[in-house]
Amino acid sequence: MSFHQELLTAVAPLWQRKLAHPFLTAVADGSIADATFKTWIAQDYLFVEGSVPFLGLLTAKAPVALRPALGGSITAFNTELGLFEQQMAAHEVTLTREYSPTCHAYLQFLLATAYDRPFEIGFTVLYAAEKAYFDAWERVRTTQTDASKWQAFINNWASDAFRGYVDWLAGTLDELAADATPPMRAEMHSYFRYTTLYEYRFWEMAYTTETWDSPLLLAMPTNAGA
Amino acid sequence: MTLAQQLWEQHRDLADACLLHPFVQGLGDGSLSQARYRYYIAQDAFYLEAFARAYTLAGAKAPDWEGFRELHALAGGVLHELTLHTSVAAELGIDLRAVQVGNATRRYTDFLLATAWGQSTGTTAVAMAPCMRLYAYIGQQLAQLAQSIPSTQPTRSSHAYSAWIATYNSPEFEALAQQLEQLIERYAPAAVALDQTYRYAMQCEYDFFQAAWEQGA
């Protein structure tokens, strides 16, 4: 089994729970409330915007051979922000500067990881987040009954181009893991699981319209299998 | 009023919520269960390592040598605090190397490290001050409370957590808190959302107590 498959297997129950989240089910069957989806758009915009420095830090730590691709992902993120802005204008979503607790904490986690941990760990986090996105939107695309009001978002991630990028991340992660020490691989597992928790929590945040009075991240399951 | 005092007063609601939290009140009157205290001590040891590193990062970025020296000394204060934790952990039979880091702990240390690596010395001082000022406040308030309890038993005010209270009630700890607050006056950048940074740290403090209360139950 390849390393990235090992990571996915280790968190399989949580991963499935994430894909079955009512937010995604509701997008697929068209029942998602406008306000809920708009909460997600506004927070994910902030998240993508805040992830650019994370990619920049990763690029700075990357082996030379990986720099062009990682640099390219910064461009891709900026293009994605353009899609958000266009959709926000079309659907009258107001740009907010109010971070939800989960969005804020997730971004702090990305930055702390990129600054503080070795490149392999940051790259693992990037793979976890992107793979989570591909799987989530691909699930929506393959289960949706009718065209969605939010089709532009679904198509953005459930696309061949995005699939190719995620496959590249997986293959590169396998190569990094092959050269990594056992403690490093253990840490990669731990960060993969933790990122998966945040991905789960992000859907939850949008679906429940989390506020600063919510019980915050304490509500996150601590065990990947929970 | 100094900037540190303004920030403290502005977010006093959360500080008082911490003081009144059942975990903290349980430390005050000695009624806190050992299971909750054990969880807290283990998480706090992990937290303090990040706190010490954040001081060091802020020191490395200090605009002048004086700032570096002071932040280095503050990191030394944390190392001392950690020594106390290590001996408490040993007494309680906790293996600090085998601790599973909780989500509330992790969220706080991610915030501290992201701030210390990414922001200026002044902003990092703002992120760290709520911890120091809050603990000095809690230590002093709980010590006063212990003195004010009329008791027929001379040992009433002394309990399992008296040493914890004494640490944070000490003039030495108050001096460390003040030293950090003076760094805010010197280095805090104008026109940055310091208010949110301070409040977020204070919220993390509250959640830290709440997590210990829930996880140690």
Q: Is B111 on the interface with A (CB under 8 A)?
A: yes
Q: What ipTM was estimated for this complex?
A: 0.91
Size of interface A-B (CB pairs under 8 A): 53
- End-to-end Cα, chain A, rounded Å: 24
A222/B103 touch (CB, cutoff 8 Å), yes or no: yes
pLDDT digits (tens, 9 = 90+) for A135-175: 999 999 999 999 999 999 999 999 999 999 999 999 999 99
pLDDT of residue B145: 85
A217/B117 touch (CB, cutoff 8 Å), yes or no: no
Please report, for chain A, the start and end positions of each structural domain, with discontinuous segments joined by +: 13-144+151-209
Query: Taking a C-beta distance cutoff of 8 angstroms, is the pair B52, B128 a contact?
Result: no
Q: Is B104 on the interface with A (CB under 8 A)?
A: yes
Summarize the confidence of residues A190-212 as an average pLDDT: 93
Domain A13-144+151-209: which topology? Heme Oxygenase; Chain A (1.20.910)
Query: Taking a C-beta distance cutoff of 8 angstroms, is the pair B62, B68 a contact?
Result: yes
Summarize the confidence of residues A107-118 as an average pLDDT: 98
Query: Taking a C-beta distance cutoff of 8 angstroms, is the pair B2, B185 a contact?
Result: yes
pLDDT of residue A221: 47
Q: Is A109 on the interface with B (CB under 8 A)?
A: yes
Residue A225: CB atoms within 10 A of its CB come to: 11
Of B107, B117, B211, the CB nearest to A116: B117
Summarize the confidence of residues A67-95 as an average pLDDT: 95
Q: Is B195 on the interface with A (CB under 8 A)?
A: no
| Residue numbers in B near A60 (CB within 8 A) | none
Q: Is A106 on the interface with B (CB under 8 A)?
A: no
Q: Which residues of B19-53 are buried (b: 16+ CB within 10 A; e: fewer)?
A: bebebbebbbeeebeeebbbbbbbbbbbbbbbbbb
Select from B11, B47, B97, B106 the residue whose CB has the most chain A CBs within 10 Å, as the one to mutate to test that interface.
B106
Regions in chain B scoring below 70 on pLDDT: 149-157, 191
Q: Is B196 on the interface with A (CB under 8 A)?
A: no
Of B100, B109, B207, the CB nearest to A218: B207
- C-alpha span between A150 and A145 (Å, rounded): 13
pLDDT of residue B150: 60
Number of domains in chain B: 1
Of B104, B118, B214, the CB nearest to A115: B118
Q: Is B102 on the interface with A (CB under 8 A)?
A: yes
Whichever domain contains B124, its CATH number is: 1.20.910.10
Q: Band of the pLDDT at A99, cuts 50, 70, 90? A: very high
pLDDT of residue B156: 53
Domain of residue B144 covers 3-215
Query: Taking a C-beta distance cutoff of 8 angstroms, is the pair B127, B111 a contact?
Result: yes
Q: Is A52 on the interface with B (CB under 8 A)?
A: no
| Residue numbers in B near A105 (CB within 8 A) | 107, 110-111
